[in-house]
A = this chain, B = another copy of it.
Amino acid sequence: MTANAADPRLAEALKATGEAVNAELDRLLPLPDGPEARVIEAMRYASLDGGKRLRPLLVMLSASLFNVAPSSALRVGCAVEMIHCYSLVHDDLPCMDDDDLRRGRPTCHRQFDEATALLAGDALLTRAFEVLAAEPTHADPAVRCQLVWELAHASGGAGMVGGQMVDLRAAELSMDVAAITRLQQMKTGRLICFSCEAGAVLAKAAPNLRQALKNYAHDLGLAFQIADDLLDVEGDVSQVGKRVGKDADAGKATFVSLLGVERARAQARMLADQACAHLDPFGDKADLLRATARFVVERQA
């Protein structure tokens, strides 16, 4: 299940990033000899050959604005992808969403077992920080520390995990658009924001340029989530690669249930345009980030 981008240069970048991420994750997750190999197999199953690699793409593209070494950006992209993948593995567990299908394949706990999936998620989460802290990620330890801190802050109780907690309670809370926006900023927005800012962190860029990327990421993250809600309503399971209609089944308020399909779609496109406008300081160099914003709202998977 690959998402095709209309822009041929972006399609090429998505393909190249996907291949580079797979090769690097393969290197970063070598299989050991001992009986602990099973958990590494599950980590590889959950992270190799899967998904759009949107977060690594955003890291690579933001890094390319500043001429950061691609090998540095790739490691950061793999770290954020490990966090994303661990969150999917834990999200799919029976005590959370109880899903059997992910990216068109059995979920990790269906392919292995629940305990192995739980541990594989824990180990992916841990490995992400090990990768960021290691010297090949950046020569300056202050930069590596900042990356560790930012990724932890974006993915912990004040970020992604906090958002998942709110999401679990969404049915009992009465969620309006403001509450859903906050929830989604925590659950998916913060990791997207980390990815977009990573290039500026790696380059020790000026604060105004980092802020421009943060503003771009803010709008992109919301546009992404609205598009996700639209796919959950309108998507086809064979294309989307996971169960659809989940939110309606769970009685959860979403951007689509609150705004309706047409207003939600218009809102996503408006946010994508707004995201692109934040990239003005970078001129033509940010064209692929602009194409990414359009791709995010038009994708079919």
Contacts and interface: CB of A to CB of B under 8 A. Distances in A.
B130 A149 contact: yes
A127 B39 contact: no
Contacts of A116: 165, 168
A35 B173 CA distance: 9
A127 B152 contact: yes
B169 A35 contact: yes
Interface centre among A94, A126, A144, A155 (most CB of B within 10 A): A126
A253 B272 CA distance: 59
Interface in A104-123: 113-116, 118-119, 121-123
Interface in A34-86: 34-36, 38-40, 43, 86
A164 interface: yes
Given A35-B165, A39-B157, 7 more contacts: A32-B157, A95-B118, A115-B168, A133-B133, A134-B149, A141-B144, A145-B145
A149 B126 contact: no
A162 B122 CA distance: 10
A142 interface: yes
A156 B32 CA distance: 13
A158 interface: yes
A3 to B, nearest CB: 27
Interchain residue pairs A-B with the least CB separation, the first 5:
A130-B152, A36-B162, A95-B114, A126-B156, A133-B148
Contact of A95 (B115, B152, B163, B165): B115
Nearest to A83: B126
User: How many chain copies does the complex carry?
Assistant: 2
Nearest to A131: B152
Nearest to A97: B115
B95 A162 contact: no
Contacts of A165: 35-36, 38-39, 116, 119
B123 A126 contact: no
A164 B34 CA distance: 13
B95 A36 contact: no
Contacts of A157: 32, 36, 39-40, 43, 123, 126-127
23 contacts: A35-B165, A36-B162, A36-B186, A39-B157, A39-B161, A39-B162, A43-B157, A93-B118, A94-B95, A95-B113, A96-B115, A119-B161, A119-B165, A123-B156, A126-B155, A126-B157, A127-B156, A127-B157, A129-B148, A133-B148, A144-B145, A145-B145, A145-B148
A153 interface: yes
A101 to B, nearest CB: 19
A297 to B, nearest CB: 27
Interface centre among A39, A43, A125, A157 (most CB of B within 10 A): A157
